[in-house]
Structure 1
Amino acid sequence: MARGFGWLSVIRIGAVQASIGAIVMLATSLLNRLMVVEYGLVAAIPAGLVAWHYAVQLSRPIWGHGSDKGRKRTPWIIGGMAVLALGALMAVNATVMMSTYPIGGGVLAVIAFTLIGAGVGASGTTLLALLASGVARERRAAAAAVTWIMMVFGIVVSAATAGQLLDPFSEQRLALVSGGVIACAFALTVIAVFRLEQHALIEAEEDRAGPAPDFREAIREILHEQAARRFTTFIFVSMLAYSMQDLILEPFAGLVFEMTPGQSTSLAGIQHGGVLAGMIAAGVGGSAFAGRMPVELRAWIVAGCAGSALALLGLAAAAVAGPGWPLEANVFALGFCNGAFAVAAIGAMMGLAGAGERTREGVRMGVWGASQAIAFGMGGLLGALGVDIARRSGGDDATAFQLIFVIEATAFMLAAFLALRATSSSKRTKAKEAAIL
C-alpha cells in the first residue's frame, strides 16, 4: 500500500483548489458586478445564473460515487477543470453579448454556467475525496485547512491582480485578463496532479468489508448517521448565510460607495484576504490542526458565525453612513470571521468523510458538497432578488442593501445555534465522535 500524502502532496492539492477558486471568482464575483453596474442588468440575472451553476452541482454525490467505484480520480480532476475553464471563457463572452444581443447572450450564459457547475462539481468533489483518502486519519483536518488556505490565497491573488489590470475598464481588457487567469489556472492544475494519485494512501479499504456499496445504499447509510445529518444541516444554514452577500457586495460597493469595477474587485480581494487570515488564526490556535475534542471545534465555529453576524450588522450601518464608513476594514472583518468558522467546519468535515462503515470518501464529500451547493444557489439568488425587490419598492439603494445584510446576520446567528447542536454528542456516541472530530 502507498505511504500516503506528505505535505508536498497536500500543497499540490491546494494548488488545484486555488486554481478552481480563481476561475470561479471570475464568474461569481467579477462578471456579476459587470452585469449589474456596467451593463445595467437587474441583479436577478447574474444571481439566477450563479444559482443554476449550483443547481448543476447537485450531482456531486454521483460524481464522487463514480470515482469511489473506479478509484481513479485524476481524470475527473483534469477533465472537470477543462470543462470549468471552457465554461468561464464562454461566460465572459456571454456577458459582453448580453448588452447588444440579449437573447443570444442569455442562452450562451446558461450553457456557460452549466459547464461551470459541472466542472466545479466533478473536479472539486473528486479532489476532496482524493485528499480524504490519501491522508492519514490523524492529519486530515490539518491537510484540509492547508488546502483551503491555499484556495483562498489563490482567490485573493487572482482578485487583486484582475482588479489592478482591469482599470480602466474595456471589453478587450476584460477578455485578456480573464483569459490569462483561466489559462494559468488550468496549466497549474495539470502540473500539480501529475503522478500525484500514485502516492495516495487508501487505508480506508482495510477498515471496510467488501466493495463500495451502490449509490442508493451509500446515501441511505449517510442519512442514518445522526452526526452526518446534523452536520449537513449546519453546512446548509451557514453557507446560506454566507452566500447571501456573495452576489451583492460588489454591486453594493458600486451603487452606494461609487467604486469602479477595479476597486470593487479589489474589495472582494480584501474580503478573501480576511478569510485567509481567519483560517490561519484558527489553524495556529490549534483546534483544527490538532484534531482534539469537539468542544474546541465548536468554539471556533460558533465564534466565527457570531462574528460574521456582527460584521454584517456593520455593513448594514455602512449602507446608511455611506462613503465615510471604513468599508475595507468592515469587509476584512467579515472575511476573517468567515474563515475562522470555515476552517473548523472543514476539519470536522474531513474527519467525518472517513467515518462511514461502508461508504467511501467520494460520495460523502459529494453529499456535503451538494448541501453547500443548494445553500449557495439559494442564498445568492435570495440576496439578489431581495435587493431588487427592496430597491423597486422603496426606491433607495442603501435601505435595500441594509435589509439584506440584517437578514443575513440573523441567519448566521441561527447557524451558530445549529453548530452547538451539530457538534454536541450523546453519552453513547461521545467517544466515537471525539475520535472523528
Structure 2
Amino acid sequence: MERGQESGLSWLGIVRLGLVQSALGSIVVLTTSTLNRVMAVELALPVALPAALVAWHYVVQLSRPRWGHGSDEGRMRTPWIIGGMATLALGALMATNATALMAVSTIGGIALAILAFTMIGAGVGAAGTSLLALLATRVAPQRRPAAAAITWIMMIVGIVLTAGIGGGLLDPFSMARLSLVASGVAFIAFVVTLLAVWRMEPSAPAQVMVSAPNTPFREALKETLADPKARLFAVFVLVSMVAYSTQELILEPFAGLVFAMTPGQSTQMSGIQNGGVLLGMVLVGALGGFIGGRGRGWMRGWTIAGCVGSAGMLGLLAAAAAIGPSWPILPTVFGLGFFNGMFAVAAIGSMMGLAGEGDGPREGIRMGVWGAAQALGFAAGGFFGAIGVDLGRGLMGADAPAFGLVFALEAGLFLASAIIASRIGAPAARPALSGARHVQA
C-alpha cells in the first residue's frame, strides 16, 4: 500500500463540514428535547417514556463501529454521511408522527416511536462517525483542535437556532404545527448536509483512498481493541462521558430545590453554563491553532486540565449544596461549563490524532469504537445521576446532601479520567508535509 499526501482541508472546508454537525444538532434537539416535553406535558405520559426512548437511541449508537468500518472499507465517507442524515431525518419525522399517534393510541404510538428512535440512533451513528473520520483524515494536525472547536460550536449553534426559531414557530401549539416544524427542520438539515459535503472528497478512482484487501468487520474490530492505546482511549471516553453527562439531568432540579430558582432562572443558568462551554471551546481551539504544530502532547495536557478543572468545579458544587443559597452558584456553573468545553474540544482533537494511527485506513472503525463508548457514557451518566439523587434523597431524607454526594462522585470520575488521559500518551508524530492522506495511482 502506498500513501501520498495532499493539502489538508482549508478553513472554509472545515466550516462546511461543521455545517453537518449543525444539521445533526438541529434534528437531535427536536427529537430529544421538544418531543420529550410534548410527551410528558401535553400528552401527560410518564416522564420515563421519553427518557427511555432517548436512552434507546444511545444504545443503538453502539453500532457506530460497524458504520465506521463500512466507511473505511467503502473508501468514501460522503455516502455514509448522506445516508445517515437521511435516516436521521426520516426517523425524526416518524418520531413526530409517533408522538401524535400516542394521543389516539398510546401502544401504537410507542411501537412506532421505538422504530423511529432506532432510526435516529442509527442515523446519528452513521453520519456522525463518518463525519469525524473524514475530519481525522483530511484535517492537518495543527488545525485539528481548531477544527474540533469549530465543528462542535457549530453543532451548538444549530441546537440554539432550532430551539429558538423552531420553538417560536410552535406557538400556538398543535400536533399539526409540530409536524410542520419538524418537516421543515428535517428538510433544511438534509439540504444543508448535501451542500456541505458536495465535492469534499475526491471522486476519481485513481484518487480514492485504497488499502489492503477488505478486512472483515470482526477482524477489524478485534485489531482495534487489541491496540493498547486505542483501547485505553475508549476507556477514557467512557469514564469521562459518564462524568460529563451525570449533571445533565440534575443541575436544573438542583437549582430549583436547593437554590429556590424559578424555571426561568434555572434555564438562564443553563445558558450561562453553555456560555462557559463555548468560551472553553474557543480558547482551546484558538490556542491549538496557534501552538498545535509546535509541540507534542499538548492536546493531552488540555484534556487533563479540562478534566481536573471540571472536577474542581463539581467539588465547589458539592460545597454549594452544603452551604446553600448564599453560595455564588452562577460563577461556579460558568466555571464548570468552561472546563467542560476545554476538555471536550481537547479530547476530540486527541481523538482525531489517534484515529489515523495504525496500518491502513482505520479512522472510521476507531471513531466508531470511541463513539460507541461515548454513547454508552452519555446514557449511563444521565441515568445514574438521576437515580443517584433519588436514592440519596431517600436515604438521607434531604435534597441538598443527595445532590452534593452525586456531584462529589462525578468529580471523582473526572479525576479518574485525568489519570487515564495521562497514561494514553501523545499521538504519534505525523509527517510535517500534511495531515491528510490518500493513495495515488
TM-score of the superposition, structure 2-length normalised?
Answer: 0.82
Shift of 1:282: 1.0
Shift of 1:146: 2.6
Shift of 1:188: 1.6
- For 1:79-158, list aligned pairs within 5 A: 79-95=83-99, 101-158=105-162
- For 1:355-434, list aligned pairs within 5 A: 355-390=357-392, 396=398, 398-423=400-425, 433-434=428-429
- Asked whether the 8 Å contact 2:58–2:375 carries over to 1, the reply is yes
Greater mean deviation of Cα atoms: 65-74 or 195-204 = 195-204
Shift of 1:320: 6.4
- Asked whether the 8 Å contact 2:145–2:288 carries over to 1, the reply is no
- For 1:151-300, list aligned pairs within 5 A: 151-161=155-165, 178-198=182-202, 205=209, 210-250=212-252, 252=254, 257=260, 259-260=262-263, 268-286=270-288, 290-300=292-302
Matched residues in 2 for 1:168 and 1:259: separation?
Answer: 23
Shift of 1:228: 1.5
Matched residues in 1 for 2:322 and 2:100: separation?
Answer: 33
- Asked whether the 8 Å contact 1:145–1:288 carries over to 2, the reply is no
Shift of 1:142: 3.8
- Residue identity opposite 2:200 in structure 1: L
Compute the RMSD of aligned alpha carbons. 3.7
Shift of 1:180: 4.3
- Asked whether the 8 Å contact 2:137–2:363 carries over to 1, the reply is yes
> Helix, strand or coil: the match of 2:125?
helix
Residues 133, 333 of structure 1: CA spacing in aligned structure 2 closer, same or farther, 3 A cutoff? same
- Residue identity opposite 1:348 in structure 2: S
Matched residues in 2 for 1:58 and 1:10: separation?
Answer: 27
Residues 370, 417 of structure 1: CA spacing in aligned structure 2 closer, same or farther, 3 A cutoff? same
Matched residues in 1 for 2:11 and 2:289: separation?
Answer: 19
Higher helix share: 1
- Residue identity opposite 2:84 in structure 1: G
Shift of 1:13: 0.4
Shift of 1:4: 4.9
Residues 181, 245 of structure 1: CA spacing in aligned structure 2 closer, same or farther, 3 A cutoff? farther
Percent of residue pairs identical: 57
Shift of 1:137: 4.7
**For residue 75 of structure 2, what is the aligned residue in structure 1?**
71
**Structure 2: tracts of 5 or more residues without a match:** 436-441
Residues 434, 71 of structure 1: CA spacing in aligned structure 2 closer, same or farther, 3 A cutoff? closer
- Asked whether the 8 Å contact 1:62–1:215 carries over to 2, the reply is yes
- Asked whether the 8 Å contact 2:357–2:428 carries over to 1, the reply is no
**For residue 353 of structure 1, what is the aligned residue in structure 2?**
355
Matched residues in 2 for 1:402 and 1:166: separation?
Answer: 37
- Asked whether the 8 Å contact 1:56–1:114 carries over to 2, the reply is yes
Shift of 1:281: 0.7
- Asked whether the 8 Å contact 1:305–1:337 carries over to 2, the reply is yes
- Residue identity opposite 1:13 in structure 2: L
- Residue identity opposite 1:60 in structure 2: R
Question: How many correspondences in the alignment?
Answer: 427
**Structure 1: tracts of 5 or more residues without a match:** 425-431
- For 1:314-353, list aligned pairs within 5 A: 314-316=316-318, 328-353=330-355
- Residue identity opposite 1:127 in structure 2: L
- Asked whether the 8 Å contact 2:257–2:399 carries over to 1, the reply is yes
Residues 192, 322 of structure 1: CA spacing in aligned structure 2 closer, same or farther, 3 A cutoff? farther
Shift of 1:128: 1.4
Matched residues in 1 for 2:112 and 2:388: separation?
Answer: 26
Task: Show CA shifts across 1:45-72 (max 9, x none).
Answer: 4333222111111111111111111223
Is 1:18 equivalent to 2:14 in the alignment? no
Shift of 1:93: 4.8
Greater mean deviation of Cα atoms: 42-51 or 97-106 = 97-106
Shift of 1:204: 10
Greater mean deviation of Cα atoms: 51-60 or 160-169 = 160-169
**For residue 55 of structure 1, what is the aligned residue in structure 2?**
59
**For residue 439 of structure 2, what is the aligned residue in structure 1?**
none
Matched residues in 1 for 2:204 and 2:271: separation?
Answer: 33
